[in-house]
Amino acid sequence: MGGNLMVGLNIALSGLEAQQAVISVTGQNVANANTPGYSEQVANLVANPPYSPPALHQNNGPGQFGMGVTVGSITRQTSQFLNLQAWNNNASLSADTQTAQTLGQVQSLVNEPSSTGLNSAMDAFWSAWANLANDPSSGAASAQVVSAGQALTSQFHNLASGLSSTQTDLNQAVAQQASQVNQIAGQIAGLNGQIAADTAAGQNPNDLEDQRDQLVSQLSNLIPVAVTWQQNGSVTVSSGTVAFVDGTHTLTLTATPDPTNNNFYALTWGPGGVPADFAGGGQLGATLTLRDQTIPGYLTQLNGLAAGIASQVNALQTAGTDAAGAAGQAFFEPSTGSATAADIAVNPAVVSNPSLVATGANPSGGPGDGTTAQAVSDLQNKTFLAGSTQTPSDFYAAFVGGLGADAQAAQSGQTNAQALQQSISQQQQQVSGVSLDQEMTTMVEAQNAYGAAATLTTTINTMLGDLITMMQ
């Protein structure tokens, strides 16, 4: 039975079919060589069960005959371990990238070290007071003090409004990124459904799984995610304790304006659901941290500087006397409450009449008395900030240095995460990437095997022909 020519033809046919399958999988690999997220596929060839199967009453013979080849399965080459590492790293890479980018903008806004930043404006302000102290009765020197004061307040306003508009932009980004999360989560849930159905039908939905991995990767850029695989082939994606993609079911990340936080968006899983907390991870987590902590921190420092300068200058001014011997008045507004970087301004009465600037210490001092103006100029060396430990210049330098350190930390975090991503991605490519050289080799092998099977068919055909001719 085993030596049957018809069986030989069938074996040759199985070879032809199997090699065709190999060629078509190779074709698929070559076509997708540059497709992002595509994993190389392999046609796993297995020998057919041999004839005859073992039985109790077996004919004597040479033993079992092989019955040709079949494609057992087509599987994708992937490592879920590497994928998990990549997704974890994506969250920190995106967070640092977002932070570095935003702080880069803030650094450009602050524009230090330069001769046009707030530091120079402060120095010019103190200097104008010193000049006024040297020549207290000079109208030009008082006017100079007022204009240096206005230059200083306008620097404060620029910084405050720049930081506030950065915050507003970040808030817009929060809503936008939340909707991206929802969109991707929906796509993953859809793929979960298809994959579960295909798996139940005994298929290997390789390409759908690749697409799903790719979507999870995109999602992990936005927020830190944890992924678990289910028996039916679907995945559960969670953020913290919230499984927001579970099979085909999703929870929507909902953005609602929060009246306790400048009406900025607060995020919950589902309307009125669990508050979303990404602990600063992913692009969205970094955006939230920047909006709610980093930028407000900078604003607080600037407000402290503005308020400190305003209250110190005003205290000296109201205790002094102007050139005409009249009691001095507040130099900076607002006169009630403490000034902020956004609302500090030179008293309009002083702007319209710079001779109201107090220069002397008491009414009998005379026009040559520059004691008060000198005292204001000397504020630059007085430690009245940060709990009476820092001069205005120290305080501002520490603010700029702190900003620089934050930006530098984000930049180096980004560089490190990039290096790690590069290394993980190389390993992923090593496992899943399409090697054209390998595909070409497989192609040549399959081509040769196909040719050989074809030759086998021809040979058996000739043998059968001979047999038929003999019988005629």
Q: How far is the CB of 425 from other proteins (least distance, A)?
A: 7
Q: How far is the CB of 442 from other proteins (least distance, A)?
A: 11
DSSP 32: T
Residue 469 touching other proteins (CB under 8 A): no
Closer residue to other proteins (CB): 180 or 359: 359
Say if CB 38 and CB 56 are below 8 A apart.
no
Which residue among 5, 140, 200, 440 contacts other proteins (CB under 8 A)?
A: 440
Residues near 367 by beta carbon (within 8 Å), at least 6 away in sequence: 136, 137, 323, 360
Residue 73 tokens, joined = 């399965």
Residue 400 touching other proteins (CB under 8 A): yes
In whole angstroms, give the CA distance from residue 323 to residue 235. 80
Residue 381 touching other proteins (CB under 8 A): yes
Stretch that binds other proteins, among 85-93, 281-289, 312-320, 373-381 (CB under 8 A): 373-381
Residue 444 touching other proteins (CB under 8 A): yes
Closer residue to other proteins (CB): 223 or 323: 323
Q: How far is the CB of 439 from other proteins (least distance, A)?
A: 8
**Rama region for 325: left / alpha / beta (φ>0; ψ in -120 to 50; rest):** left
In whole angstroms, give the CA distance from residue 421 to residue 429. 12
Instruction: Output the CA torsion 48→53→59→61 (10° steps).
Output: 40
Residue 422 touching other proteins (CB under 8 A): yes
| Farthest-apart Cα atoms in the chain, separation | 147
Residue 290 touching other proteins (CB under 8 A): no
Q: How far is the CB of 399 from other proteins (least distance, A)?
A: 9
Residue 394 touching other proteins (CB under 8 A): yes
Residue 411 touching other proteins (CB under 8 A): yes
Closer residue to other proteins (CB): 60 or 108: 108
Residue ranges of E strands in 88-136: none
Say if CB 190 and CB 279 are below 8 A apart.
no
Closer residue to other proteins (CB): 61 or 402: 402
Residue 145 touching other proteins (CB under 8 A): no
Q: How far is the CB of 108 from other proteins (least distance, A)?
A: 8
Closer residue to other proteins (CB): 17 or 394: 394
User: Which phi and psi angles does 346 have, rounded to 5°?
Assistant: -80, 135
Closer residue to other proteins (CB): 331 or 396: 396
Closer residue to other proteins (CB): 443 or 452: 443
Which residue among 102, 314, 377, 414 contacts other proteins (CB under 8 A)?
A: 377
**Rama region for 163: left / alpha / beta (φ>0; ψ in -120 to 50; rest):** alpha
> Taking CB under 8 A as the criterion, which residues in 103-142 touch other proteins?
103-104, 107-108, 110, 112-113, 119-120, 122-124, 126-127, 130-131, 133-135, 137-138
Q: Which residue has the tokens 């697409």?
A: 211
DSSP 259: T
Residue 389 touching other proteins (CB under 8 A): no
Which residue among 367, 413, 416, 420 contacts other proteins (CB under 8 A)?
A: 367
Residue ranges of E strands in 134-203: none
> Taking CB under 8 A as the criterion, which residues in 77-106 touch other proteins?
103-104
CB-CB neighbours of 267 under 10 Å: 23
Sequence-separated contacts (24+) of 105-114 with Cβ below 8 Å: 105/166, 106/162, 106/163, 106/166, 106/295, 106/298, 106/403, 106/407, 107/403, 107/404, 107/407, 109/158, 109/159, 109/162, 109/163, 109/166, 110/159, 110/400, 110/403, 112/400
Q: How far is the CB of 306 from other proteins (least distance, A)?
A: 17
Residue 448 touching other proteins (CB under 8 A): no
Stretch that binds other proteins, among 190-198, 202-210, 252-260, 436-444 (CB under 8 A): 436-444
Q: Which residue has the tokens 């199967």?
A: 53
Closer residue to other proteins (CB): 120 or 252: 120
Terminal C-alpha separation, the chain: 24
In whole angstroms, give the CA distance from residue 213 to residue 200. 20
In whole angstroms, give the CA distance from residue 388 to residue 391. 8
Closer residue to other proteins (CB): 110 or 341: 110
Q: How far is the CB of 157 from other proteins (least distance, A)?
A: 20
DSSP 313-362: HHHHHHHSEETTSPBP--SEE-SSS---TTT-EE-HHHHH-GGGSEEESS
Residue 425 touching other proteins (CB under 8 A): yes
Q: Which residue has the tokens 């069960």?
A: 49
Residue 396 touching other proteins (CB under 8 A): yes
Residue 152 touching other proteins (CB under 8 A): no
Q: Which residue has the tokens 């090699």?
A: 19
Positions that interact with other proteins (CB under 8 A): 33-34, 40, 103-104, 107-108, 110, 112-113, 119-120, 122-124, 126-127, 130-131, 133-135, 137-138, 360, 365-369, 374, 377-378, 380-381, 393-394, 396-398, 400-408, 411, 422, 425-426, 429-431, 433-438, 440-441, 444
